[in-house]
């Protein structure tokens, strides 16, 4: 029998048969990352989600798209890719959580030079795990083999999240006023921001390796840098259910949480103003919490000044809530009871819609 002739497309770098085999196992691996509203199977031309089953009177869809950035380089160097899948899901979920939205479904885009089954499975496992923990369905995606566009062993990933919120319960920050308290929810590391600077400082300037220990902690540099982005959605949904029972978020009456900001690229000064009224500032007290050791290491090895550190990195606070001063202690206690060491880190004052950090 004559030997089977290699397919020209595979010789050019795109293995359709391998991709089909990998996609064929998706239904089983994504079983936990689903919801009753999902229709059809993963792998169709479009993901289906029956919003008529949702118990909302005036549902508003909330969407966001993002990537993981140069944190991917740490995955390339370490060979550990499941955290990338967690990162892309949780970053997107946190972005819509600040509006009060419940995540419904997620879609991903993975572009790579060569399809590596081991890498693909790790990324998918991470996304599936993150979606399942957030009660969010992973209903579709795209895996594109693009030889010549990516360097060997490299890829890029993007994610789209769609959530839903009751129209009268949407948080905009418009009711925030002077005297309100700012509560910070802790991060577990850099999340997905500042990696270009962090990698330059740690690997080029300080000549460190992923196996080196982070001074002041038990973590290796790899573990510290690949700590997955925290998912705040379950806690936020519980907080809103407990403390925001007013008839509308447009009024303070019956509500205790007035605005939230996801602390990503741009830090406190770049993100908190996105939810502030024009006549209110927020003052963050950097002495209210102790930044994680990884931030101290970057600051010292890079000789980076205070202002830039708090502009580039979250410094150990991944989400901020602006809340009623009368309910601040109860909210802090609720967070603690739910396993989150939240801290009061600042206050709202009269101003012009800015946020700044004090020493």
Share of the chain above pLDDT 90, in %: 89
Q: What is the pLDDT of residue 319?
A: 98
Share of the chain above pLDDT 70, in %: 96
pLDDT tens for 86-140 read: 999 999 999 999 999 999 999 999 999 999 999 999 999 999 999 999 999 999 9
Q: Residue 152 maps to which CATH number?
A: 3.30.1330.10
In a domain, 196, yes or no: yes
pLDDT at 23 over 70: no
pLDDT at 29 over 70: no
- Residue 62's pLDDT band (boundaries 50, 70, 90)? very high
Domain total in the chain: 2
Please tell me the distance from the alpha carbon of residue 82 to that of residue 168, in angstroms, as a whole number. Answer: 37
In a domain, 24, yes or no: yes
Other beta carbons within 10 Å of 133: 17
pLDDT tens for 261-305 read: 999 999 999 999 999 999 999 999 999 999 999 999 999 999 999
Using DSSP bridges, classify how beta strands 102-112 and 59-67 pair: parallel, antiparallel or unpaired: unpaired
Other beta carbons within 10 Å of 65: 12
Q: What is the pLDDT of residue 3?
A: 56
Q: What is the pLDDT of residue 24?
A: 61
Mean pLDDT in residue range 132-157: 94
Mean pLDDT in residue range 44-68: 95
Query: CB-based contacts of 121: which residues, under 8 Å, 6+ apart?
Result: 22, 29
- Residue 163's pLDDT band (boundaries 50, 70, 90)? very high
Please tell me the distance from the alpha carbon of residue 236 to that of residue 227, in angstroms, as a whole number. Answer: 21
Q: Residue 225 maps to which CATH number?
A: 3.90.650.10
Q: What is the domain extent for residue 95?
A: 12-169
Provide the b/e sequence for 286-300 (b: ≥16 CB within 10 Å).
beebebbbbbbbbbe
Q: Write out the two tokens for 203.
A: 């690997």
Please tell me the distance from the alpha carbon of residue 346 to that of residue 310, in angstroms, as a whole number. Answer: 14
> Does residue 115 sit in the same domain as residue 190?
no
Closest alpha carbon to 259 in 268, 249, 269, 245:
249
Measured in whole angstroms, the distance separating CA 358 from the mean position of its chain's CA atoms is: 26
pLDDT tens for 186-229 read: 999 999 999 999 999 999 999 999 999 999 999 999 999 999 99
Q: Write out the two tokens for 28.
A: 């089983």
> Does residue 313 sit in the same domain as residue 275?
yes
In a domain, 2, yes or no: no
pLDDT at 256 over 90: yes
In a domain, 6, yes or no: no
- Residue 5's pLDDT band (boundaries 50, 70, 90)? low
> Does residue 258 sit in the same domain as residue 142?
no
Q: Please give the model's pTM, rounded to 2 decimal places.
A: 0.94
In a domain, 345, yes or no: yes
- Residue 26's pLDDT band (boundaries 50, 70, 90)? low
């Amino acid at each position: 029998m004559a030997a089977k002739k290699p397919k020209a497309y595979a010789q050019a770098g795109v293995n359709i048969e391998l991709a089909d085999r990998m996609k064929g196992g998706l239904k089983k691996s994504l079983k936990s990352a689903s919801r009753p509203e999902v229709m059809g199977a993963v792998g169709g031309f479009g993901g289906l989600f029956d919003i008529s089953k949702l118990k909302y009177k005036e549902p508003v869809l909330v969407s966001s798209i993002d990537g993981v950035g140069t944190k991917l380089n740490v995955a390339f160097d370490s060979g550990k890719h499941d955290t990338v899948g967690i990162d892309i899901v949780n970053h997107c979920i946190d972005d819509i959580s600040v509006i009060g939205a419940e995540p419904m479904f997620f879609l991903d885009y993975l572009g790579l030079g060569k399809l590596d089954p081991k890498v693909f499975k790790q990324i998918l496992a991470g996304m599936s795990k993150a979606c399942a923990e957030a009660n969010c369905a992973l209903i579709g995606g795209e895996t594109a083999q693009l030889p010549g566009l990516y360097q060997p062993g490299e890829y890029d990933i993007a994610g789209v999240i769609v959530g839903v919120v009751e129209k009268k319960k949407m948080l905009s920050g418009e009711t925030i006023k002077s005297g309100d308290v700012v509560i910070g929810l802790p991060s577990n590391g850099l999340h997905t921001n500042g990696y270009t600077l962090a990698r330059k400082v740690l690997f080029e300037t300080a000549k460190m390796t992923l196996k080196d220990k982070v001074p002041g902690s038990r973590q290796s540099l790899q573990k510290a840098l690949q700590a997955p982005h925290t998912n705040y959605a379950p806690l936020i949904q519980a907080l809103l259910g407990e403390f925001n029972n007013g008839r509308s978020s447009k009024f303070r009456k019956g509500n205790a949480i007035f605005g939230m900001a996801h602390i990503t690229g741009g830090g406190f000064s770049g993100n908190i103003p996105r939810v502030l009224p024009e006549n209110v500032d927020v003052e963050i007290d950097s002495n209210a919490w102790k930044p994680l050791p990884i931030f101290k290491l970057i600051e010292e090895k890079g000789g980076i000044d205070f202002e830039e550190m708090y502009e580039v990195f979250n410094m150990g606070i991944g989400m901020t809530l602006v809340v009623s001063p009368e309910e601040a202690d109860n909210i802090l206690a609720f967070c603690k009871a739910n396993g989150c060491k939240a801290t009061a880190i600042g206050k709202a004052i009269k101003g012009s819609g800015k946020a700044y950090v004090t020493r």
